[in-house]
Amino acid sequence: MRKIFVLAVLLAFAPLFGQVSAATCPPGQIPDYGDNLIKNPDFEDVSAGTCCGGTENQCCMPTDWATVGPNPPADAHSNDDTFGMGINDSPQHFVGHPTSNGNIFVAGWSNVGFPECIYQTLGAPLEDGEEYIVSGWLLKSQQHVDDGAYKVSVGDPPVGNTFIGLIDLGTFDDAVSSSEWVLREFEFTAPAGTAGKTVLVFTPTPVADNLYPGLDLVSLRKFEGCVEACPDDQIIMRLSSSSNAHGALWDQSGTGHDVKICYDEIFPGSGNGSHDCAGLNLLLSLSAQSNAHASDTPDPILYPEDVCYGDLACSVRSTGCIGGEICVVTMSASDNAHLAECPPPSASWLSVCCDPSGGGPLPVLQSITGLTASNILEGDDTTVVVSLARPEVTDVTLTFYNALDASGTVIHTADLDDVSGSRSLNDYGATLSEGVYKVVAEIPGPDCRICAKTQTFTVTKPFQSASIPETGLVGVIAVGLLVVLFVSSRKH
């Protein structure tokens, strides 16, 4: 995943937004931006938050933030319903899609003629003529048909419910998904007059009566100069190409693995440069130091080279990243895999998702054993062994599928409660007739690093020798005696 600043549209509207300019750097260098100028950028601090008392806890704003608009104006939403509106509260704009990071985000309605603006007073005004980058994560409302985004401006404090003399800096690209948070950002050069403006304003746009985008993790940073692009201490690993690639360790330069997976191009700020494995910072394991296939599970023989970095907390997911995680690299399978940059090139690929804030220990489902191919006889009581890296997990679900059925029909499900040992098929009440099957072991819920493993196995009929009826046996004996007598008479 790379930070690519798309400015063609903004340049076309430079008179409207002020002088928009990409911070240009020589080849081999990238722009370096300073500290975030926005206070409480993730909206998590609510110690001095305010609420206007609207229905369903509307118009709450976290610490350092305020809102103007119709009554009630913009709102805060929380995953756990502890501040502002819960994500499942009516009118259910963001059901099942929590904040991109932490617990709280905000959203404003683009009410015609009177949009719900979200703003704060900066610690210091922008500097005329200086270059900046502004970013935010957006999520489309499930209750509004238009995509929508936010226009970013600076100005003076509002008079009543009205801003006067706003200077527009630019507009984010639309939030096109109501199921996945998307990062939006643009660069700009502060136009003349911004030096006297201390209020930063986010206005939902375009002004229409049918959009309400979520907003989270906002950032405003000043361009400080150019630095080396992805120095060694920021390289997490290398790829031979951007897609369908082999992998290499971070220090394998000159081996044809020229695509760098870089911490500071994926996460805010710079990484600490450590490639030592500790805690949850394992991303994946490689079969060699370079020109390697990958696995989501370490193996000292098959996959001896572990890819680890800093304080990351990483998980391998088949359905996309969750919470504060960001996709770092993708895998074609859980084992013997090719690699690619994010996002996954197809739905079947896995995402290696990492949270830069670290986290507690996550369980790893290592393997299913006992169900090897073609060793199970119909009616036999076969042992199923599920191995986990952290055996304190006590809830594992087993699902048996007909592997030759294109629709993947579920034929049996069971819970494996005692993961310290093993259980047999008969314990689950599973009676499997002759055929090819697939069993999937899963740790329910998202709080796991490797949450599932799959094993295919075959059930065959026991060998049965052919039986001969008693009347047939008598006939066989009689024929045998006649043959003996005939041979004997020929000898005399």
- Bridge partners of 247? 239, 292
Q: Are residues 40 and 57 in the same domain?
A: yes
**Mean of per-residue pLDDT scores for the chain:** 78
Cis peptide before 206 (omega within 30 of 0): yes
In this predicted model, which residue has the larger pLDDT, 443 or 487?
Answer: 443
Confidence of residue 460 (pLDDT cuts 50, 70, 90): confident
Confidence of residue 478 (pLDDT cuts 50, 70, 90): very low
Q: Are residues 423 and 339 in the same domain?
A: no
Q: Are residues 369 and 323 in the same domain?
A: no
Is the pLDDT confidence value at 317 over 60?
yes
The confidence score (pLDDT) of residue 373 equals 43
Q: Please indicate, yes or no, if residue 474 is contained in any of the structural domains.
A: no
The confidence score (pLDDT) of residue 461 equals 64
Q: Are residues 211 and 317 in the same domain?
A: no
The confidence score (pLDDT) of residue 255 equals 92
Last residue of a domain, one of 206, 227, 248: 227
List CB contacts of 372: < 8 A, sequence separation 6 or more. Answer: 457
Distance CA 335, CA 296 (A): 7
Express each pLDDT in 426-452 by its tens digit. 555 555 667 777 777 776 665 565 666
Is the pLDDT confidence value at 236 over 50?
yes
Q: Please indicate, yes or no, if residue 299 is contained in any of the structural domains.
A: yes
Confidence of residue 492 (pLDDT cuts 50, 70, 90): very low
The confidence score (pLDDT) of residue 240 equals 95
The confidence score (pLDDT) of residue 439 equals 73
Q: DSSP secondary structure string, 386-431?
A: EEESSTT---EEEEEEETT-TT--EEEEEEE--TTS-EEGGGGT--
Instruction: Reduce the DSSP state of residue 23 to 3 states and report it.
Output: coil
Express each pLDDT in 6-65 by its tens digit. 322 222 223 233 333 456 788 778 888 889 999 999 999 999 999 886 566 788 999 999
CATH number for the domain harbouring residue 206: 2.60.120.260
Q: Are residues 106 and 214 in the same domain?
A: yes
The confidence score (pLDDT) of residue 292 equals 96
| Range scoring the smallest mean pLDDT among 58-62, 176-180, 473-477 | 473-477
Q: Are residues 198 and 239 in the same domain?
A: no
The tokens for 225 are 């100069």
The confidence score (pLDDT) of residue 410 equals 63
Q: Are residues 396 and 340 in the same domain?
A: no
Q: Please indicate, yes or no, if residue 39 is contained in any of the structural domains.
A: yes
The tokens for 96 are 């099942």
Q: Are residues 53 and 150 in the same domain?
A: yes
Q: Are residues 119 and 199 in the same domain?
A: yes
**Within 10 A of 261 (CB to CB), how many other CB atoms are there?**
26
Q: Please indicate, yes or no, if residue 382 is contained in any of the structural domains.
A: yes
The confidence score (pLDDT) of residue 80 equals 82
The confidence score (pLDDT) of residue 463 equals 52
Is the pLDDT confidence value at 151 over 70?
yes
Displacement of CA 61 from its chain's centroid (Å): 28
Domains in the chain: how many in total? 3
Q: Are residues 27 and 117 in the same domain?
A: yes
Q: Are residues 87 and 141 in the same domain?
A: yes
| Range scoring the smallest mean pLDDT among 110-114, 369-373, 399-403 | 369-373
- Bridge partners of 153? 168, 201
For residues 465-469, average pLDDT? 43
The confidence score (pLDDT) of residue 486 equals 39
Distance CA 215, CA 83 (A): 16
End-to-end CA distance of the chain: 97
The confidence score (pLDDT) of residue 375 equals 52
Q: Please indicate, yes or no, if residue 312 is contained in any of the structural domains.
A: yes
Distance CA 96, CA 190 (A): 38
Last residue of a domain, one of 227, 248, 278: 227
Polymer length in residues for the chain: 492
Cα atoms found within 13 Å of the Cα of residue 35, Cβ hemisphere only: 7
Q: Are residues 296 and 387 in the same domain?
A: no
The percentage of the chain sitting over the pLDDT mark of 90, rounded to a whole number, equals: 40
The confidence score (pLDDT) of residue 437 equals 73
Confidence of residue 249 (pLDDT cuts 50, 70, 90): very high
Q: Please indicate, yes or no, if residue 115 is contained in any of the structural domains.
A: yes
The confidence score (pLDDT) of residue 167 equals 96
**Enclosing H/E stretch for 487:** helix 470-491
CATH number for the domain harbouring residue 426: 2.60.40.10
Among 108, 206, 120, 212, which residue's Cα sits nearest to residue 158?
A: 120
Express each pLDDT in 256-306 by its tens digit. 999 999 998 898 778 899 999 987 889 999 999 999 999 998 888 999 999
Q: Please indicate, yes or no, if residue 481 is contained in any of the structural domains.
A: no
Structural domain span for residue 442:
365-460
Express each pLDDT in 374-400 by its tens digit. 455 665 655 666 665 544 555 667 677
The confidence score (pLDDT) of residue 409 equals 63
Q: Please indicate, yes or no, if residue 360 is contained in any of the structural domains.
A: no
For residues 334-362, average pLDDT? 85
Kindly tell me the sign of the dihedral angle through the C-alpha atoms of 166, 170, 171, 172. Answer: negative
- Bridge partners of 201? 119, 153
Tell me if 183 sits within 8 A of 210, measured CB to CB.
no
The tokens for 387 are 């191995």
Last residue of a domain, one of 179, 196, 227: 227
The confidence score (pLDDT) of residue 387 equals 60
